[in-house]
Amino acid sequence: MNILILGANSDLAGCLATQFAKQGSCTLVLASRDMELLEKKAADLQIRTGVVCQARYFDALDYPSHSDFYQGLDPRPDGVIVAFGCLGNQKEAEQDFQKASHIFNTNFMGAVSILEIIAADFERRRQGFIIGISSVAGIRGRKSNYHYGASKAALTVFLSGLRNRLDPAGVSVLTVFPGFIHTKMTDGLGLPGLLTTRPEIVARRIHDAFRKKQDIVYTPGWWKWIMRVISLIPERVFKKLNL
């Protein structure tokens, strides 16, 4: 099985790569922008696990390059993990449309651009799996990160539509809803300790959900119940909360 990981320099993606490599019988293509870091990660992973691991340049924002990027993969992947993401700065995004669109263009448009190319290939080959990393932030908009949240909400709906389209072709789509994770994305944000998890734990849960052929996974699992409760709060109450 050949697995393509997009945004592979992400801390969560690194743990996912290890998780898949530890199961053996796969080869990995790590794709991201920072090639120096990526090549180190690929070499390290190959030494640690014995799994063949290539590094490839990929920029989610460079939409015109996506087709050539994908056609250049040999062999074509059997599965893809979309892990790239940009949290951005909510206050700056409120005041500067360029900053707001950067968040949306990375998290949503970047995924749409590359995943439509991959979906067409998987659909034609009648095989493959897609794992998309969304976020619980996309379930209800909060003042502290609604640009990021809106981009993840769009990604969630897009992945749901892909799942519905690709199921008859035997292609699976797993949508992942992580809560807070200790990664470079959240460094210095002062996240609540009790609600924040290590990326290794999230990666294990995602791999488990993939093996069980789940469509959706909250990780850790209790986020599902937290988000159910949050979804039930009436809007007239929710709008007054300091979230």
Site residues, ligand NAP (CB under 6 A) = 7, 9-12, 32-34, 58-61, 83-86, 106, 110, 133, 135, 178, 180-181, 183-186
Q: Which is nearer to ligand NAP, 185 or 230 (CB)?
A: 185
The CB-of-205 to ligand NAP minimum distance in angstroms stands at 13
Q: DSSP for 62-76, please give it.
A: -GGGHHHHHHT-SSP
The CB-of-59 to ligand NAP minimum distance in angstroms stands at 5
Angle between helices 146-166 and 97-104 (to 10 degrees): 30
Alpha helices of 23-65 — where are they, by DSSP H? 35-49
C-alpha Rg value of the chain to the nearest Å: 18
The CB-of-185 to ligand NAP minimum distance in angstroms stands at 3
Both structure tokens of 132: 């998309």
Closest of 216, 141, 210, 206 to residue 175, by C-alpha: 216
Instruction: Report DSSP state, residue 9.
Output: T
The CB-of-11 to ligand NAP minimum distance in angstroms stands at 4
Q: Which is nearer to ligand NAP, 50 or 195 (CB)?
A: 195
The CB-of-207 to ligand NAP minimum distance in angstroms stands at 15
The CB-of-241 to ligand NAP minimum distance in angstroms stands at 20
Contact, 210 vs 131, CB < 8 A? yes
Angle between helices 11-22 and 199-211 (to 10 degrees): 50
Q: Which residues contact 4 (CB under 8 A, 6 or more apart)?
A: 29, 31, 73, 77, 79, 80, 81, 118
State which residue has the least CB distance to ligand NAP: 85
Q: Which is nearer to ligand NAP, 58 or 122 (CB)?
A: 58
Q: Which is nearer to ligand NAP, 72 or 168 (CB)?
A: 72
Q: Which is nearer to ligand NAP, 21 or 202 (CB)?
A: 202
Q: Which is nearer to ligand NAP, 86 or 174 (CB)?
A: 86
